[in-house]
A = this chain, B = another copy of it.
């Protein structure tokens, strides 16, 4: 099943920083767009602009993969697309199961982004017997009872949890026990998993709350409206006295 995995592109292959890994998909997307427009080469400056990052950062990121650029010219788009795809493991097929076919699960099943890049929805699983057999996105929903069998027969190693919060940990445990080692969690819960299992979480309400925090801060500064531009003022760290404006630093009684 797994083809040769002893890859060593003439440089330090192991030890790609996590932050870099998180940006590779971004670069890949930008490069794919260039590829479709048949652009042969691209400079770090251009690509960085397209990906919304600093060009030095981009060059350093690529340097972890190896020296794929040509000084004075830039990077070969096709070659880079291939290298990043391979580094991310997108040259192979990743069967994925989605557990919890509610509104969100159905939306995920229909999401084109899955199929387009090496990921294939191998099965949809739901606890509701009434859902069983019903096709969603052209795939019949299967019952939770068969979870282990489905994982095993399809060689699934990536699972997506889109269940209510209450069921998430239990589903997670079963997925892990059945052999899944990477989980994308949409349920608003902190999952606990054994070592060796990766969990990434996508949490709507957390994202909104972070936005609300900044929004409130912006509103506060605006209300203060002393005529200062917000970018440059850096209040020196003071302790004790300090007019921090709107919010009273309430101390517990």
Residues of chain A at the chain B interface (Cβ within 8 Å): 2-9, 13-15, 21-22, 24-26, 28-30, 32-33, 35-36, 50-52, 54, 66-68, 70, 76, 78-79, 81-83, 85-92, 94, 96, 102-104, 106-108, 110-111, 113-114, 116-119, 157-158, 181-184, 188, 190, 192, 195-196, 198, 200, 202-220, 223-224, 230-237, 243-244, 246-253
Closest approach, in angstroms, between the C-beta of A72 and any C-beta of chain B?
14
A246-B184 in contact given A89-B213, A90-B251, A117-B205 (Cβ < 8 Å): no
- Give the nearest-CB partner of A218 in chain B: B181
Chain A interface helix/strand/loop/mixed = mixed
* Chain B residues whose C-beta falls within 8 Å of the C-beta of A181 in the assembled complex: 215, 218
On whether the beta carbons of B90 and A212 are closer than 8 Å, the reply is yes
Known contacts A198-B214, A215-B157, A253-B33; decide if A52 and B6 are in contact (CB<8 Å).
yes
